[in-house]
Amino acid sequence: MLRKSLKYSLLVFLLFIVTSSYSQTIDSLKRIDLKEIEIKSYQIKSDRQRLKIVQDNVIYAGKKTELIDMALVSADLSTNNTRQIFSKVPGINIWENDGSGIQTSVASRGLSPNRSWEFNVRQNGYDISADPLGYPEAYYTPPMEALSKIEVVRGSSSLQFGPQFGGLLNYQFKKGDTIKPITYETEQTIGSYGLFNSYNAIGGTKNKFSYYGFLHIRSADGWRENSRYNTMTGYLSLQYKLSTKIVLSAEYTNMNFKSQQSGGLTDSMFAVNPRQSVRARNWFSTPWNLLSVSMDYSINNNINLNVKTFAVLAERNSIGYTKSINIQDSINPSTLQYNPRQVDCDSYENYGAEARLLLNYKLGKAKQILATGVRYFRGETDRNQLGVGTTGNDFDLQIEDDKYGRTFNYTTINYAVFAENIFQINNKLRIIPGARFENIKNTVGGFLNVNSGLKVNDDERLRAIFLYGIGGEFDCSKYTQLYANYSRAYRPITFSELTPSATTDIIDPNLKDATGYNADFGYRGQIKNCFSFDVGVFYLNYNNRIGVIQKDGSNFKTNIGTSVSQGIESYLELDVIKLFNDQPRLGSVSLYSSFSYTDARYTKWDNPSIVDDPQKSYVGKMVENVPRNIHRLGCSYHHETVSASLQMSKVSSVFTDALNTIAPNATSTIGMLNGYQIFDFSLAYKIKETYTFKFGVNNIADEQYATRRSGGYPGPGILPGNARTFSVTFGGMF
């Protein structure tokens, strides 16, 4: 029903576009000026806003967008608490098994949250993941204290940003003070289970030169046993105004951490004591280096060019005993030592460039906007696995004979060209068509078994992908708006899908990229200066899901499935005091609700081995790890010196496998996870606009819950979420 409703809504919207365009006279077209018709808000003081029609040479008109203003967020930033930070972005599904906040795992619309790999994750507009086309896992997350805003784009973002179904997630860093030559910011946090978090930043502007840099350190023993960690991130940005038209900038980011991995639990262990851990020798580390040089050139009042070059030089290192949780990691009686651990190490060397041109031009007397660009990317991944490691307990990547059991080399070369255009039909209506062409080349080589000399069949895949879409906006009033979009999307075959995991595995030579489309229809805006809303429906079709079937006695990896996600996303926020008083002296009291309903199901599953067994049919089953309902409610108070927030997150149960198994198996890698409800509280107080005191309580009711089961790293089994924790922060700006 929702699919039909969405189709009818889009049809009505497009019909309305056509009829309304004929109803306007030529004279009205002559009076159009985009700068004057842009929707202006009442500036409700909320940390949740939306992106402008055009921003940073990118068109956001007709898309579902959210902008999180970090200066107004009432959340625990010291541990990157994503359920609080994304509380007003409806439908964000979060895996909360990493209490350190080092890595963020978020998704929406029935997609997997695994290290946010269904999002195109960026920092200041450039790539930060391991390989956005071959291995899109985001192992690096910036410290939230360093951010000015977070941009989330869903719907037709694939046209501007390429390979993803989930959309864009872009972290924007703070910048140096534009007036003073030097300012200093500091925040020092202590909290439960040995938490220490230190953020120190310096920035400013002197003549044509500006800069900003920070050093961030965080460490803790962790809520669970065997979960201590330490992380350090450094960042420096330099900007120079070469002239009134040209601005040059350069950035460097370094992140390094060591994190002990508690591993999974069986369901019975989780029920007795979710803090316990039976893995004391598992460690994880991802040294990450990001570099970017960019130029912004305002050629004239109508043409702007932005060019970004970037590089990612990084590693992924793990060491541990990762057998099933029901197999004990114990001392070998014959050697009186533990068994050797497994060492896996990746290295990533990526380079890219992206140029975006924004052109304002006239069609007749009406101003239009064209955003176009080109992209180049080259990435190389060296993957080394099954190294025989030490028998010790600490982080140690030393391996036996300096030789790994399995080695692979992957390369990605990508060229893309893209364009979107705002056609201003009249002073209320905008139509935004767009297209993107991608050329992708992947290669794979290496050894499946180094000792026996068994090589992987060298594989090279070259394909050309064409994406297209159309969006629209109609201003129902000065402050409210209808929006809709449709766009094609795709997800390239990942490296792991190109590589057999065992000697009996066979890769389908005709393996295809995942393809499909996104569609949105919604109504958003503000009423007076006290009520803000964004309510819409979505439909996501995901074809060519890759899986494994049995064929001629071997595991055959091929395209076998299709899933469809459809649902509702709504955000409502009311300033109670401004409802009665436009100029309140007592501050603002905000009540908000962020709600999503997602029905994500498999609609097709081409697996000959199960087609005749109804008990094993995937068709009609819910997609794994997708909660049907995500509801976040909150109440916040803001004043010049005091702010406070109370939030509830209520998430429904999920299946963790495609067959929707309810009871857990012996190793607890599959089985339903129950829904949960969590309350968080935060308080901030400013003293003389210089000093800040913050206090926070996460999971006030000490809810025992889990959002994820793991089949491999960071340890098979059920992975608990954090219990109740406290934190206190002292900060200052000088």
DSSP 166: S
- Of 442-451, 475-484, 494-503, 703-712, the range with the lowest mean pLDDT is 494-503
CA-CA-CA-CA torsion for 121, 127, 128, 129, nearest 10 degrees? Answer: 70
Residue with tokens 């395209």: 559
pLDDT band at residue 176 using 50, 70 and 90 as cut-offs: very high
CA-CA-CA-CA torsion for 610, 612, 615, 618, nearest 10 degrees? Answer: 50
pLDDT at 681 over 80: yes
Contact 142, 468 (CB under 8 A): no
pLDDT band at residue 19 using 50, 70 and 90 as cut-offs: very low
Which CATH architecture fits 2-733? Answer: Beta Barrel (2.40)
CA–CA dist 71, 172 (Å, integer): 12
pLDDT band at residue 511 using 50, 70 and 90 as cut-offs: confident
* 382 to 318, 339, 446: CA distances (angstroms): 14, 26, 9
* 284 to 253, 262, 586: CA distances (angstroms): 20, 11, 48
CA–CA dist 445, 332 (Å, integer): 36
Q: Where are the domains of the chain?
A: 2-733
pLDDT at 32 over 90: no
Nearest by Cα to 485 from 524, 427, 539, 424: 539
Q: Would you state the pLDDT for residue 608?
A: 59
Q: Would you state the pLDDT for residue 615?
A: 58
Q: Would you state the pLDDT for residue 553?
A: 66
Contacts of 621 (CB under 8 A, 6+ apart): 601, 602, 655, 658, 659, 660
CA–CA dist 196, 573 (Å, integer): 34
CA-CA-CA-CA torsion for 49, 146, 125, 525, nearest 10 degrees? Answer: 0
DSSP 400: G
pLDDT band at residue 410 using 50, 70 and 90 as cut-offs: very high
Residue 639: other Cβ atoms inside 10 A: 15
Percent of the chain scoring above 90 in pLDDT: 73
CA–CA dist 313, 379 (Å, integer): 10
pLDDT at 93 over 90: yes
pLDDT at 42 over 50: no
Phi, psi (degrees; rounded to nearest 5) at 61: -65, 140
Q: Would you state the pLDDT for residue 519?
A: 95
Please give the full DSSP string across 696-725, using - where no structure is assigned. EEESTT----EEEEESSTT-SEEEEPP--E
- Of 30-44, 606-620, 642-656, the range with the lowest mean pLDDT is 30-44
DSSP 225: T
- Of 119-133, 595-609, 640-654, the range with the lowest mean pLDDT is 595-609
Identity (one letter) of the amino acid at 407? T
Contact 668, 265 (CB under 8 A): yes
CA–CA dist 37, 121 (Å, integer): 31
- Stronger pLDDT, 163 or 553, i.e. the higher one: 163
Residue 605: other Cβ atoms inside 10 A: 21
- The three-point CA angle 327-332-333 to 5° equals 125
pLDDT at 1 over 50: no
Q: Would you state the pLDDT for residue 34?
A: 43
pLDDT at 173 over 70: yes
Please give the full DSSP string across 258-280, using - where no structure is assigned. EEE----B-HHHHHH-TT--S--
Q: Would you state the pLDDT for residue 14?
A: 39
pLDDT at 2 over 50: no
**Residue length, the chain?**
734
Mean pLDDT within 329-348: 90
| Mean model confidence pLDDT for the chain | 89
- Stronger pLDDT, 337 or 42, i.e. the higher one: 337
Mean pLDDT within 581-587: 76
Mean pLDDT within 201-223: 97
CA–CA dist 341, 390 (Å, integer): 6
Largest CA distance in the chain: 93
pLDDT at 512 over 50: yes
Question: Under the phi-then-psi rule, with left for phi > 0, alpha for psi from -120 to 50, and beta for the rest, what region is 656?
Answer: alpha
pLDDT at 315 over 50: yes
Mean pLDDT within 348-355: 98
pLDDT band at residue 331 using 50, 70 and 90 as cut-offs: confident
| Cis peptide bond upstream of 132, omega within 30 | no
Q: Would you state the pLDDT for residue 31?
A: 36
CA–CA dist 189, 331 (Å, integer): 39
Most confident range (mean pLDDT) of 162-166, 544-548, 659-663 is 659-663
pLDDT at 644 over 80: yes
pLDDT band at residue 39 using 50, 70 and 90 as cut-offs: very low
pLDDT band at residue 616 using 50, 70 and 90 as cut-offs: low
pLDDT at 610 over 70: no
Percent of the chain scoring above 70 in pLDDT: 91
CA–CA dist 646, 644 (Å, integer): 7
pLDDT band at residue 13 using 50, 70 and 90 as cut-offs: very low
3-state secondary structure (DSSP) of residue 19: helix
pLDDT tens for each residue of 462-509: 989 999 999 999 999 999 999 999 999 998 888 888 887 766 678 888
Q: Would you state the pLDDT for residue 567?
A: 97
Identity (one letter) of the amino acid at 110? G
pLDDT at 718 over 60: yes
pLDDT at 731 over 50: yes
* 311 to 384, 417, 472: CA distances (angstroms): 22, 20, 35
Q: Would you state the pLDDT for residue 25?
A: 33
pLDDT tens for each residue of 60-78: 999 999 999 999 998 999 9
- Encoding tokens for residue 445? 């080589």
3-state secondary structure (DSSP) of residue 160: helix
CA–CA dist 574, 199 (Å, integer): 33
Nearest by Cα to 354 from 56, 64, 150: 56
Contact 229, 257 (CB under 8 A): yes
DSSP 131: B
- Stronger pLDDT, 456 or 86, i.e. the higher one: 86
pLDDT at 652 over 80: yes
DSSP 622: B
